[in-house]
Amino acid sequence: MLRFDVVIIGSGLAGLTSALNLADHKKVALITKRLLLDGSSNWAQGGIAAAVGENDSIESHINDTLIAGAGLSDPQISRLVATAAPKAINWLINNGVEFDRETDVSKHLHLTREGGHSQRRIVHSADATGGAVQHALAKKVIAHPNISIFEHHIAIDLITGNKLGLPENRCFGAYIFNSRSGKVITFQSDYTILATGGAGKVYLYTTNPDVSTGDGIAMGWRAGCDVANMEFIQFHPTCLYHPHAKSFLISESVRGEGGILRLPDGERFMPWHDERGELAPRDIVARAIDFEMKKRGLDCVYLDITHKGEEFIKAHFPTIYARCLTFGIDITNVPIPVVPAAHYLCGGLLTDEKACTSIPNLYAVGEVACTGLHGANRLASNSLLECIVFSFSAVQDILGSSKPARPVLPPWDESRVTDADEEIVIAHNWEELRRFMWDYVGIVRTTKRLTRAMHRIELLREEIDEFYSNYRVSHDLLELRNLVVTADLIVRSALARKESRGLHYSRDYPHQLEIALPTILHSLPEISKSISFV
């Protein structure tokens, strides 16, 4: 057993920010299931939204967030985040993050614009902002004596009062599987922060890295956390279409800087779907591309930035230029073939303004959480911002709390399981799950498709639960177990929404209801799954 003041599960921007702000006061364990920089944050291209420009305002940032959220974004949370954005940018700069400047002389931050924003307010580091931020913070984390980093460690389940037979369902840590040694370690902590990211790998096509398997959401649900708005999956409109390109995102800022979406014959089509054209919110652009592809039987559409010139393209999009060139696509001369792909989960574990879940001493920060900021559709570049702001909130709440009592925790029990004789079932179930989620729970949905998906999920879950009950855990089994729980929550939420709103579009319910209400799922841990919709 290992004991820490705080255990943080996940090493993306939410995890690193929380660790750095806690470490001067607490002994921190940072758990990451692969390497420190393997999370989605490191992949982020566009930037961080903040009203720091001369003609911009916090009110404008709030208004753009609420419009994109399609009536479901919480106004108070939106104000909290937009108001804290300039502070978040300054904190990153003070911690060594180098953002692009207008010129070497002026030193003013260079701001770009993305879909859904009425102003240029995206602070960025070329087209690899996530990488610049993560590398700068990782150096600080690695050097801090109060932070212990555990790479190749994947969380199995949270340890809670219910599991210990205590009257209050607090969180006391987690069971963690060491993927290298094959051993399970009990991590005891006063406070636990879930910063595990999203669940893009539940879909066949995604911009997310392989680690995005819904771990925190599934663990929280099994422990008794409330979950909200899981039906709202943001499909990024522009993922590179190439047989050898794995999940490579073409940043929103390409359209923000003048990129035009075209059909194979060169005709522009976005003005047919929305007066904002390529700068419409992501859900509208993704549905427009999906419509044109299905209508015309296309494999992809094309994003054209060639008119901006070679010098501009290489200066603003060096990462995209270099990556596309490896596949023989010179974006200074030819348009980029693109398709939509699952990108971001707007729902998650329901949290308050302090990042607290419905279980005491358990926090959720980043894509794993549903804070109320994104509503039915996330505004571009609000995601990294949300990570920082709610990390600050969680840290403040932890440091202001009195130290809780530590009960005796039981060790992990594997006395009744054996080594798996065949693990091929894991690979087959993984492939089946991701394919039918893409076919039945994608950009455009129907009740019939969702019902089919639910039936498949029930069969898969029975197989996976049986496998989990009889054999020792493995990295792949744990991820599959979490993916099927997350898929179940997505489909249940989608079936409950009898309208089309934001990222959820149903052919059976194409109209939007007058009153916007969140979908909230209530979990009864270890007993049954009771669902209610508020």
Q: Domain spans of the chain?
A: 2-232+346-399, 237-343, 424-513
Share of the chain above pLDDT 90, in %: 85
Looking at every residue in the chain, the average pLDDT score rounds to 94
Residue 525: the pLDDT is 56
CB contact burial 224-250 (16+ within 10 A = b; e otherwise): bbbbbbbbbbbbbbbbbbbeeeebbbb
- The fold of the 2-232+346-399 domain, in CATH, is FAD/NAD(P)-binding domain (3.50.50)
Instruction: Name the class of domain 424-513.
Output: mainly alpha
Closest listed residue to residue 457, CA positions, set 480, 424, 427: 480
Q: What percent of the chain has pLDDT over 70?
A: 98
- pLDDT digits over 448-498, tens only? 999 999 999 999 999 999 999 999 999 999 999 999 999 999 999 999 999
Q: Please say if the pLDDT value at position 532 is more than 60.
A: no
Q: Which of 10, 15, 22, 19 is nearest to 399 (CA)?
A: 22
Catalytically annotated residues: 282
Q: Could you give the CA distance from residue 311 to residue 332 in angstroms, rounded to a whole number?
A: 9
Q: Give the residue carrying structure tokens 């709103």.
A: 501
Burial of 79 per CB tally in 10 Å (0-12, 13-18, 19+): middle
Cα distances from 508 to residues 70, 141, 517, 519, 532, in angstroms, run 19, 49, 19, 18, 21
Helix (H, G, I), strand (E, B) or coil at 330: coil
Q: Where do runs of H (alpha helix) occur along 317-446?
A: 318-326, 383-399, 424-440
φ/ψ (deg, to 5) at 280: -70, 160
pLDDT exceeds 80 at position 531:
no
**What does the pLDDT look like over 326-378, one tens digit per residue?**
999 999 999 999 999 999 999 999 999 999 999 999 999 999 999 999 999 99
Is residue 526's pLDDT more than 50?
A: no
Residue 7 has pLDDT above 90, yes or no: yes
The Cα angle at residue 251 between residues 248 and 257, in degrees rounded to 5: 150
Mean pLDDT across 58-71: 97
At 106-147, the pLDDT tens digits run: 679 999 998 889 999 999 998 899 999 999 999 999 999 999
Band of residue 246 on the pLDDT scale cut at 50, 70, 90: confident
Taking the complete model, does pTM exceed 0.85, yes or no?
A: yes
Average pLDDT over residues 73-99: 98
Answer whether residue 534 shows pLDDT above 50. no
Confidence of residue 43 (pLDDT cuts 50, 70, 90): confident
> 238: pLDDT confidence band, cut at 50, 70 and 90?
very high
41 pLDDT band (50/70/90 cuts)? very high
Q: 331 phi and psi, to 5 degrees?
A: -70, -5
User: Considering the domain 237-343 in this protein, what is its CATH number?
Assistant: 3.90.700.10
